[in-house]
Amino acid sequence: MIYGSDLYLIRKGHFMKNLIAAIPDDYLKTIFWKAPNPMGITTARDGIYLDVNEAFTKIFGVRKQDLIGKSSVELGHLSKERMLEVSNEIKEKGYAKNILIKNSDKNNALQCVLINTTPIKIKNKVLWHTIVTDISQIKLARETKRDDVFTKY
């Protein structure tokens, strides 16, 4: 038996499929590129960057062309061990959420980011879509017990 809410979801799903199908690819690329959150698309098997957005290039201080075709391990964004942890969490849960990564930014300052990664399937290929959140200021404030930084947020 189909209830009213089920029918709504069926109609909504059909509507959303048609709506998404009507969005030209260049719009989606623009949305990805201009999103304020750093995002990257990598191969699931070895973490090779296929695409990153503008915010991603800014947070890591690396040009897009210097990222594409290289792995997150090769660039020092993740250690091999950390990459394995992310991979295992995705296999176990279907996603990796709030994984803390510490590395250096372009000025060699400590950078702390959280990554959230989910597998996506495009043209029968499994890729990882990762969103990065910079928590460096919050982490620094907690470590130095600076309450003034928390009042900004």
CATH number, domain with residue 69? 3.30.450.20
Is the pLDDT confidence value at 146 over 80?
A: no
Q: Give the pLDDT confidence score for residue 114 in this predicted structure.
A: 92
Element (H, E) at 76: none
Coil, strand or helix: which one is 84? helix
The verdict on 123 and 135 lying in the same domain is yes
> Residue written as tokens 């620094």?
140
User: Taking all residues of the chain, what is their mean pLDDT, rounded to a whole number?
Assistant: 79
pLDDT tens, 88-97?
999 999 999 9
Burial of 89 (0-12, 13-18, 19+ CB in 10 A): middle
Is the pLDDT confidence value at 111 over 70?
A: yes
Q: Which of 39-43, 69-73, 109-113, 148-152 has the lowest mean pLDDT?
A: 148-152
DSSP character string of 51-67: EE-HHHHHHHT--HHHH
The verdict on 19 and 74 lying in the same domain is no
69: which 2 tokens? 């075709």
> CA-CA distance, 105 to 76, in Å (whole number)?
11
The verdict on 57 and 119 lying in the same domain is yes
Max Cα-Cα span within the chain: 61
Structural domain range at position 140: 37-150
pLDDT tens, 6-39?
444 444 445 445 555 555 677 777 888 889 999 9
Coil, strand or helix: which one is 68? coil
Coil, strand or helix: which one is 3? coil
Q: Is 0.75 surpassed by the pTM of this model?
A: no
> How many structural domains does the chain have?
2
The verdict on 63 and 24 lying in the same domain is no
Is the pLDDT confidence value at 63 over 50?
A: yes
Instruction: Mark 31-49 as b/e (b = at least 16 C-beta within 10 Å).
Output: ebeeeeebbbbbebeebbb
The verdict on 123 and 71 lying in the same domain is yes
DSSP-H helix ranges across the chain: 4-22, 25-34, 54-60, 64-67, 80-93, 136-144, 147-150
